[in-house]
Amino acid sequence: MKNEWPLWEVFIRSKSGLSHKHVGSLHASDAEMAVENARDLYTRRNEGVSIWVVASKDITASDPDDSDPLFEPAKDKIYRHPTFYEVPNEVTHM
């Protein structure tokens, strides 16, 4: 349908101090309308203090088929985590 309004992804900051979080999508003909529709659809109960909208077509996502090469290599690098290291009990503030 040529007159269908494009799809937008919506991100809401629920309160100051938190990041914007993806909440869903909606349709709108332009960016201003997308923000307004997002306000009416996703913040009816005071759920937000800030809204981002991104045209869905502009989002590049990683491919689940690539998830092994992308994410597996990080799994065994346990030396990146503090629990990998032993610190004597007497030593504090570390």
Partner 1 sequence: MKNYLLQLADNALILGHRLGEWCGHAPEMELDIALTNIALDLTGQARSLYQRVGELEGASSDGVSKTEDDYAYLRDVWEFRNVLLVEQPNGDFAQTIVRQFIFDSYHFYMCRALTQSTDEWLSGFAEKSLKEITYHLRFSSEWMQRLGDGTEVSHAKMQTAIESLWTYSGELITPNEIEKELASQGIGVDLNKIKPEVTAKISEVLAASNLTAPEGIWMQKGGKDGRHSEHLGYILAEMQFLQRAYPGQAW
Partner 2 sequence: MTSLNLEALFQSKIDEEIKIEPKDWMPDAYRKTLIRQISQHAHSEIVGMLPEGNWITRAPSLRRKLILLAKVQDEAGHGLYLYSAAETLGANRDDLVQQLLAGKAKYSSIFNYPTLNWADLGAIGWLVDGAAIMNQVMLTRTSYGPYARAMVRICKEESFHQRQGYEIMIAMANGSPEQKAMAQDSLNRWWWPSLMMFGPHDSESTHSDQAMKWKIKRKSNDELRQQFVDVTVPQAEYLGLTIPDTKLRWNEARGHYDFGEIDWEEFWSVVKGNGPCNKQRLKARIKAYEDGAWVREAAVAHAAKKEQDKLPESSAKAA
The site for partner 1 (CB under 8 A) is made up of 5, 26-30, 32-33, 36-37, 40-41, 44
Q: Which does 24 bind (CB under 5 to 8 A by kind): partner 1, partner 2, none?
A: partner 2
What is the C-alpha to C-alpha distance for residues 56 and 59, in angstroms, rounded to an integer? 6
Closest distance to partner 1 from the beta carbon of 93 (Å)? 48
Find the binding residues for partner 2 in span 61-80 (CB under 8 A). 61, 63-64
DSSP result, 21-77: EEEEEEE-SSHHHHHHHHHHHH-TTS--SEEEEEEGGG-----GGGHHHHHGGGTT-
What is the C-alpha to C-alpha distance for residues 11 and 50, in angstroms, rounded to an integer? 8
Q: Which does 36 bind (CB under 5 to 8 A by kind): partner 2, partner 1, none?
A: partner 1
Residues that bind partner 2 (CB under 8 A): 1-5, 7, 24-27, 29-30, 33, 41, 44-45, 61, 63-64
